[in-house]
Amino acid sequence: MNNGRRRPDFRRGRQDPADPNKKPMPKWVVWLAIGLLALALVGPQIWPAEDATKITYTEFLSQVRSDKVREITINNTSNKISGEFKDGTKFSTTGNVDGLSDADEELLKQKGVDYNYSTPQPNWFTSLIPLLLPFFLIVGFFMFMQRRAMGQAGSIMSIGRSRAKAYQADKPSTTFADVAGYEGVKQEIREVVDFLRMPERFKEIGARVPKGILLVGPPGTGKTLFARAVAGEAGVGFLSVTGSDFMEMFVGVGASRVRDLFQQARKLGKAIIFIDEIDSIGRKRGAGLGGGHDEREQTLNQMLAEMDGFEATDGIVIMAATNRPDILDPALLRPGRFDRQIVVPLPEYEERLAIIKVHSRDKRMGSDVDLETMAKATPGMSGADLANLVNESALFAVRRGSKEIERIDFENARDRVVMGARRESLVLSAEEKRATAYHEGGHAVLAAVLPNSDPLHKVTILPRGMALGVTWTLPEERHTYSKEFFEDVICKAMGGRVAEMIIFGHLNSGAANDLEQATVIARRMVREWGMSEAVGPMAWHGQQQVFLGEDLMTSGREYSDETAQKIDQEVSRILREQEDRARVLLLKHRKGLDLVAQALLEEETIDGLKVDTLVQQGLGETGVSESATELGLR
């Protein structure tokens, strides 16, 4: 009678259920015991024990003359002499190389010492070693090759298995509380988690759980972090895999791994499958030069069948993340496969503030740190950028020798992340420094006087990154942009080039990046945004890539040569109009430009408020200041 209790099983090294902390005996202990037993049996034959006293040959002859030796035995092979004294003590000594001399043999006869010669036979085990050693080497070599072949066969047989990692409930988990902001995204994902945990609540009114959720957003916005939060909140099976895990050099491996992945999920009953970077296997079919036999397409076909094919997949939810939804196959995005596409955008001000607080909670902050100001000063940064910003500020604090992070550390970290590291080793000549001051001063003055420009934050002539100077504006949070805004951006970009023409009468290569940005904006105004009266309300995109599913032989340009000429003329017109506008404004604020350049030469870095003050001061003056004249800024 066992009273319904199972008997403990101690076979195969299993742990005792009564003592869960007791570990099974390691295998090396058994081999060690076998080795010690073999050494105890064979060792005495290989290395026989010797209890005789060792003496020199001279001492041996002295003992013979003293009539203390009873008998000896002479080894014919080694000439070693072993014997016994008359008191019963045994001894051994090394004889002469040529054996006993006639005089020594005569001495032994005179003293009545019994002596005899022996030729010992070699140890049987030692004689077998030369014969057995090649045998063991050959057997060991074949065993090694057999194990290697079995291992390779095993790896080949398992190559089609899924590489998905199952979430372990006992590991530290991430929850939705660890994800700052994005309340709308949390709500949509939380519904899926609630359905898997409480399906009766939804089935009462006939609701059907979405089979697939696609997280779409720029890099660093936290799509994978949401997946980890779902793994911590769901309470059901969670399998995580990346898109590249399905691809292999062997044909058919990707499809096999997809089948195995869904089989694992079905065994769990209710499960969530997360596929990170799904665009690596979900690209449009027919893209590129491959045909229908392409390995990537076979993998995608199998995934489409598993997600919503002939066999039902109730209780299995697919989550995927990508930052390239435009290249995904339409069959993958239809309802029934990915029912929901959740956009995870760049965080707004409130979300940036929450993200900075999350990453700052385990760091020692100074009393002068204002996280709200820092959140306002970091528009366009993703969650990963903000995490890096906080970490960089901590590194700057350590570099200063401070025990807490202060405001200056955040400022330096922001400059480091946005504008690049300061190039301490680069030393500008006086003429280069003066040209840089006027170049950045032209940008700064226009940023201060243009009506649609973003607020000016800081301007510096300290080399950072690849630039000799930087004019930094704080972009306001906009979701739509007007034609006037883009015109002001182009005009501000022309400020450095125009300022150099006004002051020095010639140009240099410092405006290359400004011209590139201005040309890109002007071309998009004409070709994509319909902001040109001559071209009209038409939009064209650039050449499509082959991997997006476009035909290789078709031209990427969608308009005629006449239209292309008209586009080029309009782009040139916009750029020249804004260059002339920048020249007019800088001539009007010439005195302010001189004051800003003077301040940059003296202080190297000034903020936007001081630029505004100097521009206003220049409007109220009748001439250039004496200090500017002394510096040769005329």
Decide if 574 contacts 526 (C-beta within 8 A). Answer: yes
Please give the Cα distance from 398 to 391 (Å, whole number).
Answer: 11
Task: List, as one string, the DSSP characters of 580-599.
Answer: HHHHHHHHHTHHHHHHHHHH
Residue 452 CA neighbour count, 13 Å, CB half: 12
| Spatial CB neighbours of 284, under 8 Å, sequence gap ≥ 6 | 327, 328, 329, 330, 548, 549
Q: Which residue has the tokens 């250039």?
A: 624
Cβ proximity of 81 and 95 under 8 Å: yes
**Which helix (H) or strand (E) is 242 found in, with range?**
strand 237-242
**499, HSE (Cβ side, Cα atoms, 13 Å):** 32
Indicate which residue of 406, 440, 487, 500 is catalytic. Answer: 440
Please say whether the beta carbons of 370 and 407 come within 8 A: yes
Using alpha carbons, select from 346, 420, 411 the residue that is nearest to residue 383: 346
Query: Are 219 and 325 in contact, with CB atoms under 8 Å apart?
Result: no
C-alpha 360/C-alpha 405 separation (Å) is 10
H or E, element range at 16:
none
Residue 601 C-beta-side C-alpha neighbours within 13 Å:
23
Backbone angles phi, psi at 461, to 5 degrees: -110, 15
Asked if residue 232 lies in contact with residue 174, where contact means CB atoms within 8 angstroms, the answer is yes
Residue 198 to residue 174: CA distance in whole angstroms: 21
| Other Cβ atoms closer than 10 A to 201 | 11
Assess contact for 90 and 52: CB atoms under 8 A: yes
Task: Report the C-alpha gap between 245 and 506 in whole angstroms.
Answer: 57
- Can you tell me the distance from the alpha carbon of 125 to that of 122, in angstroms, rounded to the nearest whole number? 9
Q: What is the DSSP string of 45-88?
A: HHS----SEE--HHHHHHHHHTT-EEEEEEETTT-EEEEEETTS
Residues 6+ apart with CB under 8 A from 114: 70, 71, 72
440 flagged as catalytic: yes
The residues, any chain, with a CB within 8 Å of residue 379's CB and separated by 6 or more, are 349, 352, 474, 475, 476, 477
Q: Which residues are catalytic?
A: 440
